[in-house]
Amino acid sequence: MQPAALPENETARLEKLRQYKILDTLPDESFDCITRLLSTILDVPIALVSLIDNQRQWFKSSVGLNTRETTRDVAFCSHAILQEKVFIVPDTALDPRFSDNPLVTGGPLIRFYAGVPLTTADGYSLGTLCGIDNKPRELSSRQILQLEDLAIIVMDAIELHRARLNAEQAEQAEADFLATMSHEIRAPLNGVLGLAQLLTDTKLNKSQRRKVDDILSSGEILVAIINDVLDLSKINAGGIELESHPFNLQALISTVTLSFDAVADAKRLKLHVVDSGEPLTISGDSLRLRQILWNLLSNAFKFTDAGSVTLTIADVEDAGDLVAGPGAHVLQFSVKDTGAGIAPERLNAIFGAYIQETSATTRKHGGTGLGLSIVKKLTELMGGTIVAKSQLGEGSEFTVNLPFDAATAEEANAISLDGAEDDNNETQPLNVLVAEDNDINAYIALAFLERLGHAGRRVENGNQAIAAANEGWAELILMDVHMPVMDGIDATKSIRSTTAGKNLPIIGLTADAFAQQHRRFKRAGMNDILTKPYTEKQLADSIATHRLAEVPGRP
């Protein structure tokens, strides 16, 4: 037996092979279909995609061979990668290089071999695409040509594997960076905004109050920017999962518009809401609808210095391609302002990410230019449409049409009852355990609880939270997720395993903002998650909602 010589570029070739990160990967149908096709074209029982590693040949795909690798010294493919064209051995028994090869004298009893190098664009042969038979034979010129063509396809599949892997790694690196960035900014912001909220109820002179208001406003803008960047990243990565649940449309509209009362007063603008429909309970993703409306209204107020902003809601029979079927609604939301307007030729461009009307717009009004891009992508994700109309100096109008299912009478009634229960619950004081290692964040949580009429007690890690929960004093726990000694996730799991903590409401506090992270926290047993920085009202709403709620995943 004559082992193959090493390629002159062997060190670089092995490094190139490792860059593709394809060795020891799982079977892939895109490669398997090629080896099956090759077996048919060449009429051979064995077909392989073989990659030549340092001491072995490893099979990315194989037909007719029940092993994933052999040693390199007996590999026919080690000879084939030294060639520029197809390497053919018509009869191994008559070839002194292979006649005593253990793969010839023993299983799989190779008598015929034909392999073509899998060569990169820069000239490195990574392995071969080969066909093997247990009887001597020849290939026709057509079969040789088809073998070479299939090798090109295999190399394309290898390149695609690397490109997909690199894209996934880049996407994960981006997600990790954004998650870390978000966490590192949100954590201290919780302290800044929390303390500013507490200051608003103290005795301040006019100048001091304005400074506190500026702190709150600046912090809220920063949070909005972070949220926009994260949302656009999730949308582009396909990470947004729509939910469907019943909700009252008028209540949602009231909540959204109420948040703009302060900015309307500050800019001396009128906010008009025109809703010609009856009170309506529908089923869909209320969070995304709220996000769409908030972005449109925020955009309108940002670019309007005088006049008004008008939100019009209508239940329409159809809106172009959207038609309301039985038990469904097509809702039309229109936001019109009397602002500076947009040049008609710029209307389509403004839906792009990081796009604003001009660079002067960015300097004057701030923002990232993500709001309208997010609105458009969310609207399309929800199966809707968006249209923009504008003229310079005459204001702008954005119209969104969205399909929703009608909620049942039982669902509508349940929403009304839930609201009544929440009102009753808000007046009942609770003993609340606060598990938080950060002194400032703990102070804010305890201060919020005191202002809401609840009694608070603090512990600093998960072990202490478990011990305190077992004492039976706490009626609800605010659980920070990241703590020393034991984190909030493990502490929650431990508390849930006890009789005393089985149904104890636990609200997670975290600077982690991604939905998949929140789902993991809820699987551990948390009833709700408040993302830092959170407001006193958000805390009050969560306590009112979950104080009597059942534990997720439990009967």
- Where residue 41 sits, what CATH number does that domain have? 3.30.450.40
- Residues 332 and 218 reside in one and the same domain: no
CB 470 within 8 A of CB 463: no
Q: Which residue has the tokens 């039309």?
A: 332
CA distance 433 to 452: 14
Of 383, 410, 437, the position where a domain reaches its end is 410
| Exposed / middle / buried, residue 61 (Cβ in 10 Å: 0-12, 13-18, 19+) | buried
502 inside domain: yes
- Residues 20 and 106 reside in one and the same domain: yes
CB 128 within 8 A of CB 83: no
Any idea of the CA torsion for 397, 403, 409, 412, to the nearest 10 degrees? -50
Q: What is the pLDDT of residues 15-28, one digit of tens each?
A: 999 999 999 999 99
User: Band of the pLDDT at 410, cuts 50, 70, 90?
Assistant: confident
- Residues 333 and 288 reside in one and the same domain: yes
- Residues 437 and 502 reside in one and the same domain: yes
User: Band of the pLDDT at 362, cuts 50, 70, 90?
Assistant: very low
Q: Which of 198, 191, 146, 160 is nearest to 38 (CA)?
A: 146
CB 330 within 8 A of CB 384: no
Enumerate residues 6+ apart whose C-beta is below 8 A from 431.
Answer: 454, 455, 457, 473, 474, 475, 476
DSSP string for residues in 78-132? HHHTT-SS-EEES-GGG-TTTTT-HHHHSTT---EEEEEEEE-TTS-EEEEEEEE
CA distance 368 to 370: 5
In sequence order, what E strands does 177-307 have? 245-248, 270-275, 281-284
Whether residue 46 has pLDDT greater than 80: yes
CA distance 61 to 128: 11
- Residues 253 and 352 reside in one and the same domain: yes
420 inside domain: no
428: which 2 tokens? 């009942």
Of 410, 439, 455, the position where a domain reaches its end is 410
| Exposed / middle / buried, residue 126 (Cβ in 10 Å: 0-12, 13-18, 19+) | buried
Whether residue 421 has pLDDT greater than 50: no
Enumerate residues 6+ apart whose C-beta is below 8 A from 454.
Answer: 429, 430, 431, 432, 543
Mean pLDDT, range 40-47, rounded to an integer: 97
- Residues 229 and 259 reside in one and the same domain: no
- Report how far apart, in Å, the C-alpha atoms of 453 and of each of 49, 431, 432, 535, 553 are: 70, 10, 11, 16, 30
5 inside domain: no
Q: In sequence order, what are the beta bridge partners of 63?
A: 47
Q: What is the pLDDT of residues 437-462, one digit of tens each?
A: 999 999 999 999 999 999 999 999 99
Structural domain boundaries enclosing 229: 177-234
Q: Which residue has the higher pLDDT, 353 or 174?
A: 174
Q: In sequence order, what are the beta bridge partners of 248?
A: 281
498: which 2 tokens? 């006890």
Whether residue 553 has pLDDT greater than 50: no
CA distance 217 to 267: 14
CB 111 within 8 A of CB 91: yes
User: Band of the pLDDT at 369, cuts 50, 70, 90?
Assistant: low
Per-residue model confidence (pLDDT) at position 366? 45
Per-residue model confidence (pLDDT) at position 243? 85
- Residues 475 and 512 reside in one and the same domain: yes
Mean pLDDT, range 84-98, rounded to an integer: 96
- Residues 155 and 249 reside in one and the same domain: no
Q: Which of 64, 60, 38 is nearest to 51 (CA)?
A: 60
Give the orientation angle of helix 488-496 with respect to helix 462-470, to 10 degrees: 20
Whether the ω angle into residue 45 lies within 30 degrees of 0, i.e. cis, is no
Enumerate residues 6+ apart whose C-beta is below 8 A from 525.
Answer: 492, 493, 495, 496, 506, 551, 552, 553
Per-residue model confidence (pLDDT) at position 345? 80
553 inside domain: no
310 inside domain: yes
Length of the chain, in residues: 555
User: Band of the pLDDT at 228, cuts 50, 70, 90?
Assistant: confident
- Residues 259 and 230 reside in one and the same domain: no
416 inside domain: no
Round the CA-based radius of gyration of the chain to a whole number and report it: 33
Encoded amino acid at 205, one letter: N
Q: What is the pLDDT of residues 497-544, one digit of tens each?
A: 998 888 899 999 999 888 888 999 999 999 999 999 999 999 999 999
Per-residue model confidence (pLDDT) at position 487? 95
- Residues 131 and 258 reside in one and the same domain: no
Of 166, 198, 223, the position where a domain reaches its end is 166
Q: What is the pLDDT of residues 327-338, one digit of tens each?
A: 788 999 999 999
353: which 2 tokens? 């990410």
305: which 2 tokens? 């210095």
Whether residue 73 has pLDDT greater than 90: yes
Per-residue model confidence (pLDDT) at position 122? 95
- Residues 441 and 388 reside in one and the same domain: no
The proportion of the chain whose per-residue pLDDT surpasses 90, expressed as a percent, equals: 61
Per the structure, the count of domains in the chain is 4
CA distance 14 to 124: 9
